[in-house]
Each structure stands twice: as structure tokens, then as C-alpha cells.
Amino acid sequence: MALNISVLHRCILVLGCLLYSHSSQALEERSTDNTWHVVDVRSLFPSSVCSSSIEKDSNRLTITHRHGPCSPRPTNYKPTDVEILKHDQDRVNTIHRLVTSARKNTIGESLSVSLPAKSGIPYGTGNYRNFVVQIGIGTPRKDFIVEIDTGSDLSWIQCKPCKTCYNQTDPLFDPNLSTTFSSVPCSSTDCTKLDIRSCSKGKCQYVIVYEDMSRTHGLFVRDTLTLGRTDTLPNFMFGCGISNAGTFGKIDGLIGLGRNRVSLISQASSKYGAMFSYCFPSRSSYTGYLSIGKNTVSNVNFTSMVQKPDTPLDYYVNLTALKVGGQLLKISATVFAAGTVLDSGTDITRLPPTAYIKLRDRFRQLMKRYPSAPHLPPLDTCYDFTKHQRVQVPTISFVFSDGTTLDVNSTGLFYVSKLSQVCLAFAGNSHDSYLGIIGNIQQKTLQVIYDIANKKIGFGSGGCK
């Protein structure tokens, strides 16, 4: 009888190992109570080979990591962790300054610098880890690689004849070679859609100066924009930059996904509807997508898109609570009173310090089986996974005022420097009065849908790898 029990035990153990081995081939495996991820540590690192599972559609653009193997213009340059995180913090600092300034202007407080409240507000671009897409401009079509940014409205690319241009991989756009190109006259009502504008020889001009002193200046123009393979948007208005400098890397420009009058979404709404969606890939060796217009999706939970006309940002959500390991943290909803914005250009999620400390402490408590690693500022919760093939990680969820819950995918929990330094990809603001930001790392693999017409934002799982 003892022998039979021993054999039975061995069989159970073998079966358990086989099942666990099978689950580790997937990126994650959740327990039935939705409190844990089981992660194969190898899945935290990208491959050197591109693996694309996104099919091209007429108005769907392929999203790639700027420096990954799937990039249409791959380079050998790899930014350091210090560069990435410093640039990310610079963007966050700028967002906080601009929001604070705009709110002070609204309530009549005096400021040394007056900032407009909407279109063209530049709070930083060129993030080393940002996502890019390929678009077509002009007739015949010329392809360009541009960064996507939900925090910007005006789209722009570098153009000939360029007085001052930074180096980019593609040839500059030459308006003389496009049969559908035209300048926007100063007398046009379209010129007034720019908050910061000037005129030269009857032609409308734009100027954007970013907080890090990067800048773009040139003509406000129209030409045909091609999305995906064949879908076109005639008379698309954008900036044709002839004087540009700064930390833009080698991208050709930017596509603005804000809500104001000159953004791509506003200009395309009559054709596609006031809606767009995207999915950021989990690793730089995968691809995601940006879809303009209605998207047929399922299993999506929507929450309200909060209106805050006193700030230069568009996509606010009403975050009121957090869960770690399935447990609701004891945080007063008033801690989040400064607001929370969904931003494609910020990497690391920033929370009010009161909320972040609660989240961090609970996460550390549940992760105490793993050895800690040195901090990677501003990230202060890091682990050494060198002796582990798989790790068990607590789930993290955002809870909104209407009860909608956003469960962060396992790939959205960590910033991975190396196997011996894997850090929780959340950080605290310096004060609870500063705006919270849900960054793009926490949005990985999710279908994120911006239904502007109905003022709601949706989140669905399994949008891309």
C-alpha cells in the first residue's frame, strides 16, 4: 500500500510538472482567483528577430518600437536605461508644469509665462522607447516614420528646403514633388486653428518649442495622407518643418492624436468617426497597431473620458482605487483628486505618493521571496531573477469611479534592465497634488479604444502580443 501511495505521489508530481512546464511556454498564467501571474523570465526579454502577428488593414497602421527589430528603419543605437528613464522623467516634469500653469491661468493667478490651454501645447517628444508608425504623405506617396503621441495635436514632418534640420534616416519631404501639396493661406480660417501662428508672404506658419528647447517651425500645409496600404485622407493639414532641432532621434516627425482641431483624429472624424484605438506590443520584437475610426472589438470595458477644459491634456480618466494581488488597497479616493491622464508618450506610470507607497509596500510584501536589486531611479522596487526560470507575481489593477477595472498585463508590471535588475514600472509623484499618469508600459497588449464622440475610453485584453 505504501508503494502504491508513493507511486501515486510521483505520478501527481510528474503531472504537475508537465502542466507547469506547459503553462510556462505562455507569457503568463493567471490563477483562478485573479491574484497572481506566473511569468517565464525569458519572456521578459525581446528577441533579436521581428515576429509580427498584426495584419495590415486599410486604415490600420503597424506600431513598432523605435529601436526594435520590427522598426521600418532599424538602427544599431540602443539608449541606456539612464537615458530612457531621465527622458521619461523630463516629460513627466513638463506635463506637471504645463498643467499647473494652465490651471493657474484659468483661476486668474499671475504668471511670468502665459501658456495657451489647448492646441500645440508641447510637453516633450522623442522619448527613446516611444512607438512609431509609417505613414504616406503626398502624391505620389512618400513614406515617413513618425512618433505617435496622444498628448499632441499638430502633426509635422521635416521638409525641403530645410534651413536647419536634424539628421533623419529618410529623405526629407519635398513639396515640389507632390501634385496634391498646397500651403494654408494666412487669410484661411484653418490658419486660426493654430494657437501659435505667424504669417510670411501670405502663408500660414506654425512654431512649437518644447520644454527641452527642441523645436520645429515651418509652414502649415495640406497634402494627401495615406494610412495603411491604400486608404487616403485628402487635404490633411500638418506642419512642414524647415527649421527643426532637438532630441527627436532620427524619426521624420510626429502624428498628433489629441482631440483639438488640427489633430489627425479631428481631421479624420468626418470620414472615420471620432474614434481611434491602439495596442502597444509587449516586447520590441513584436508589433502592435494604430487604427483610425471604428474598430470591431469584443470583451472591452469602458470608463468615462473625463472633461478637464482647464488643462492642455485630453484623455483623463477618473481613477479612484488600486488593487494588488486582487486586494483593494485602503486609499481614499480623494488622494486621486488631481486627476489621472492616459498618455502614450510616458513610459512609467506615476501615482500620487500616498497611493504609490501603498501599492509598492503591498507589492514588496507579496514579492519577499525574491532577492531585491539596486534601485534604478525613479524606480525603487527592483528584483534579481537570475536564479529563477519562472516567477510568481501579484496582479495590479486600476479601479475607476464607475467600477470599471483595468487589469494590467504581466508584461506591463516591470521595467527590465537586465535579469538581475527587474523593476516595478510604477513611481510616485513628489506630491499628491500632481497629476497621475498611466504610462504606455502599463498599456501593453491591451486594446485601448478612444471613443471621443461618446466620451469614453475602453480597455480590452489580448489586443496584440
DSSP states along 357-421: HHHHHHHHHHTTTSPEE--BTTB--EE--TT-SEEEEE-EEEEETTS-EEEPPGGGSEEEEETTE
What is the C-alpha separation between 135 and 320, in angstroms, rounded? 38
Q: Cell numbers of 158, please? A: 521635416
Is 149 known to be catalytic? yes
What is the C-alpha separation between 195 and 152, in angstroms, rounded? 13
Strand partners, 134: 145
Selected catalytic residue, list 314, 343, 407, 432: 343
Q: Which helix (H) or strand (E) holds 319?
A: strand 319-324
Distances (CA, A) of 444 to 226, 265, 279, 281: 26, 22, 7, 6
Q: How many CB atoms lie within 10 A of CB 85?
A: 23
Map residue 57 onto helix, strand or coil.
strand
115 and 101 Cβ atoms separated by less than 8 Å = yes
Is 195 known to be catalytic? no
Asked if the bond preceding 140 is cis, omega within 30° of 0, the reply is yes
Selected catalytic residue, list 149, 153, 223, 432: 149
Q: Cell numbers of 50, please? A: 521581428
Positions annotated as catalytic residues are 149, 343
